[in-house]
Amino acid sequence: MRVSRVRGVLHPTPLAVGLALGCSVAPALADEHPSPHRSHRHHAPTKKTAPATPQAPVAPAADTAATLSNAKGRGPDHVAHKNGAETEEWTVVASPMNTLRTPIGLSRMPQDVLHTPQTIDVVPQLLMQQQNVKSLDEALKNVPGITASVGEGEGGMSGDQFLIRGFAAQNDIYENGLRDFGVYSRDSFDYDHVTVIKGPSSQIFGNGTTGGAINITTKTPTAGNHINASFSGGSGSYYRGTLDINRKITDTIAVRLTGMGNESNMVGRDQLYSHRWGIAPSIIFGLGKKLNYTIEYFHQTDNRIPDYGVPVVTKPGTAYGKPVTEYGVKRTNWYGTTFDQEQSNVDMLTGRLQWEINPHITLYNDTRGGLYSRYFSASQEGCNAACTNAFFSSYPETAKVSRIGGVGGPNPYQQDDWSVQNVASAVANFTTGTIKHQMIGGVDIEHIYDRRRNYAYNNPASRQYTSLLNPNPYVPGLDVGVGSLHPGNIVNIPNGVGRKEWKTSAATDVGAFFSEQAWLAPWFSVKAGFRWDHWSSNYAATGGVASTADTRLGQKQDTFNPNVSLMYTPNDHAMVYFNWAESTTPLGLYVTNSSEPLSPKNSKFEPERSRLYEIGAKYSAFHDRIGFTASVFRLEKGNSLLTDPSNGTVTSSGDTQRNQGLELSVSGQILKNWTMIATYARYDSKTTGGTLADIGKQIQFVPRNQATVWSTYEVAPKTPYNLTVGGGLTWREGVFLDTANTAKVPANVEFDAVVSHQFGPRWKVAMNGYNLANRLNYGNLFSNRVTPSVGRAFLFNLSASY
């Protein structure tokens, strides 16, 4: 699309009228009804020698950063002189904050968010830049329905552990469609954007995904050369630097390098810090060609102190337990010891092949190998009845909190894992008569191996208790030794595992998937698919106490997960859909981040099974400036597995749980210089069957209401006195921490803000403020303890782009 100007007089096309009004829009370059293989992206302005034809498909964006730098989509691409007339050509782009035009980026999900029949939340690159996002956890604060949690039971778990719509998703984190099996806190330095696909998605991703899946799209080589660098510093002795370099070597080969160094303490919590660095080089062969191959390497090293939060206590005479910090205990209190440590090293090598054989068939093959090394030692505090009674007595200073949790630990351990996964798939687009088809099929094979060596404290009783009001991390005479030197001090895990030094787990999954979408009319299509998986896992506990027999267990499961969707698409800007899907979660699925290993009892448990019914609508309005979504859903989970916080035992409750609700979102450009992204979720969750005492109770960790909003406004853009101001709110209603609804955490409310100034086209300074009200919020949630979130903090950022 273009605007022509002859002899200084503008002759606008209809689209130019939108430009004159200051709208940043994207032309609909395709026919009225979308083809089955259309891919939508935000497009950066590019030079053209002729106007685009209405039938031409939109070409993929070369680089998200280029899109952001031209977010308004205004300005001439070039000026041409022909026959004495001067002609300016304008390329118009959609708002980068309108997430409906974001491609999912997977061969198994080839459409954009707008044309995918499922609730999908996207955290775009522009939003992460404005908020100065530094981790996956920070990025997901913008997505309603996600709660951070840490597994209970043997060893406990740190790293990224999330719940989606109240259901565990610790094994449902993906990078470019491949599982990331690691247990670590993920830095966001290599993220292009983050997508949360809600609802059972086993047909796409395999076993798991009860509440949904988190997919990270990484930064890979593009056609444009750039160097981006930034430095941040601020509260909590925070220092961070990032680097992003992209270079096109030949017409078809490009390389990219991203890197990060981060050192910080945590505002509002004693003793905690994180020192990490990472690097992610990548190269593409066949850039812009029908046959291309991308190789990515990722490394992250992290040395941090794990935080298991503060205990939850029930005041005599009250109905619910609450965090002790709600009764005046300092939010800064940390109940660990000087031996608490988490050191992780993550290495992943990924290769992705794409081959467009002809206009109808495209082949993909994605392969990843991963190495994960982790030393973990943490104190798992708990305030028992004696502790609680002393705290609420006339002598609260006598209250002693236990640091060894319900299972006598967790023990320190060294974890060494490796994994490999290969997904081969094909996408076929063809027509039979008047019906268009898109078929997707493939094979997914993965294997994960986990090996742990348990260590022991030479004098575990000495670290058992500390003051609830004034904890002391220093324990004289305490030391950590190899488990074989202190076998009696190795934690006695229940269910027949005993005091064992070595724990080994492995799992293999072979899956086959197929789906077809058929356009029975240009405005109506049906999509149906399935995935079959053969899952086998094994577990062994050996060494340690000789008097306890070694444990060797195995489990095999064959699962079948279907999916059916109906889609009404009156035009390329709107869709109404119905989606029905199922998923399964075997107990042995969580090998690297399991909260409890297989036991003689639970190894026979049937897998959890979930089912989704969802009706939704999506609309990209005002020339793609703003996207609207709305959905209502019902999510049912049967054969729910529960973990006892007192001893870590996993039991099959037989409970049936149901979560239903409404989700709304709006994202995009409201006015010329005003952008906003906002979400709201209303959930009605309860246990509907199984344990009699729990029937009718609200599902743990699921809020009734949750909302986020973030908005920025540019004052005097492209002038020496330009200024961008913005801010937002994150709100989550209070949630119950257990299935019996006897413990509750208060609501979370966080106000954040940003102010930035651009120095010319290259340099920018920004100041971010977090939790400006310094409210006592809670992040990671457990069944009997919670982790206070960061206090009021400010972060200065200086960035350059060349």
Determine the 3-state secondary structure of 741 from DSSP.
Answer: coil
**Res 34: pLDDT:** 40
**Res 474: pLDDT:** 93
Is 80 exceeded by the pLDDT of residue 601? Answer: no
User: Across residues 10-28, what is the average pLDDT?
Assistant: 36
Q: How confident is the model at residue 183 (pLDDT cuts 50, 70, 90)?
A: confident
Q: What is the pLDDT of residues 642-695, one digit of tens each?
A: 554 444 445 555 668 899 999 999 999 999 899 999 999 999 999 888 778 888
Q: How do beta strands 173-175 and 178-179 pair?
A: antiparallel
Q: How many CB atoms within 10 Å of residue 668?
A: 25
37-41, 278-282, 403-407: the lowest-pLDDT one = 37-41
User: Across residues 604-616, what is the average pLDDT?
Assistant: 85
39-43, 120-124, 216-220, 734-738: the lowest-pLDDT one = 39-43
How many residues would you count in the chain? Answer: 802
Is 70 exceeded by the pLDDT of residue 598? Answer: no
Q: 353 or 199: whose pLDDT is higher?
A: 353
Nearest to 695 by CA among 660, 735, 655, 738: 655
176 close to 217: Cβ distance less than 8 angstroms: yes
Residue 207 has which token pair?
């076993």
Q: What pTM was estimated for this model as a whole? A: 0.85
φ/ψ (deg, to 5) at 404: -110, 5
The percentage of the chain sitting over the pLDDT mark of 90, rounded to a whole number, equals 60
Q: How many CB atoms within 10 Å of residue 327?
A: 12
Is 90 exceeded by the pLDDT of residue 561? Answer: yes
Task: State how far the alpha carbon of 226 is from the alpha carbons of 222, 259, 431, in Å.
Answer: 10, 14, 42
Is 50 exceeded by the pLDDT of residue 725? Answer: yes
Question: Please, is 462 exposed, middle or buried when counting C-beta atoms within 10 Å of its C-beta (0-12, 13-18, 19+)?
Answer: middle
**E strand segments, 622-696:** 626-638, 641-643, 650-652, 656-671, 674-689
**Res 36: pLDDT:** 42
CA distance 6 to 4: 7
- CATH superfamily of the 101-801 domain: TonB-dependent receptor, beta-barrel domain (2.40.170.20)
**Res 531: pLDDT:** 95
Q: 277 or 541: whose pLDDT is higher?
A: 277
| H/E run at residue 69 | helix 64-69
Q: What is the pLDDT of residues 100-119, one digit of tens each?
A: 999 998 989 999 999 999 99
Question: Please, is 11 exposed, middle or buried when counting C-beta atoms within 10 Å of its C-beta (0-12, 13-18, 19+)?
Answer: exposed
Residue 135: how many CA atoms within 13 Å on its side-chain side?
Answer: 19
Nearest to 101 by CA among 672, 671, 726, 629: 629
pLDDT averaged over every residue in the chain: 84
Is 60 exceeded by the pLDDT of residue 359? Answer: yes
Q: What is the pLDDT of residues 279-298, one digit of tens each?
A: 999 999 999 999 999 999 99
**Res 165: pLDDT:** 86
Is 70 exceeded by the pLDDT of residue 311? Answer: yes
Question: Please, is 45 exposed, middle or buried when counting C-beta atoms within 10 Å of its C-beta (0-12, 13-18, 19+)?
Answer: buried
Is 60 exceeded by the pLDDT of residue 39? Answer: no
User: Across residues 416-425, what is the average pLDDT?
Assistant: 96
User: Across residues 348-360, what is the average pLDDT?
Assistant: 96
Q: Is the dihedral of CA 490, 491, 493, 498 positive or negative?
A: positive
CA distance 718 to 565: 46
Listed by start position, the domains of the chain span 4-94, 101-801
43-52, 140-149, 542-551, 761-770: the lowest-pLDDT one = 43-52
Is 60 exceeded by the pLDDT of residue 48? Answer: no
* Centroid of chain to Cα 192: 13
* Centroid of chain to Cα 113: 16
Q: What is the pLDDT of residues 128-151, one digit of tens each?
A: 999 999 999 999 999 988 887 654
Task: State how far the alpha carbon of 364 is from the alpha carbons of 59, 105, 540, in Å.
Answer: 19, 12, 36
Is 80 exceeded by the pLDDT of residue 157? Answer: no
Q: What is the pLDDT of residues 466-508, one digit of tens each?
A: 999 999 999 988 888 888 888 888 887 766 677 889 989 899 9
Q: How confident is the model at residue 640 (pLDDT cuts 50, 70, 90)?
A: low
32 close to 571: Cβ distance less than 8 angstroms: yes
Q: How many CB atoms within 10 Å of residue 706?
A: 25
Q: How confident is the model at residue 407 (pLDDT cuts 50, 70, 90)?
A: low
* Centroid of chain to Cα 111: 20
Determine the 3-state secondary structure of 312 from DSSP.
Answer: strand
Is 70 exceeded by the pLDDT of residue 314? Answer: yes
Nearest to 186 by CA among 141, 229, 138: 138
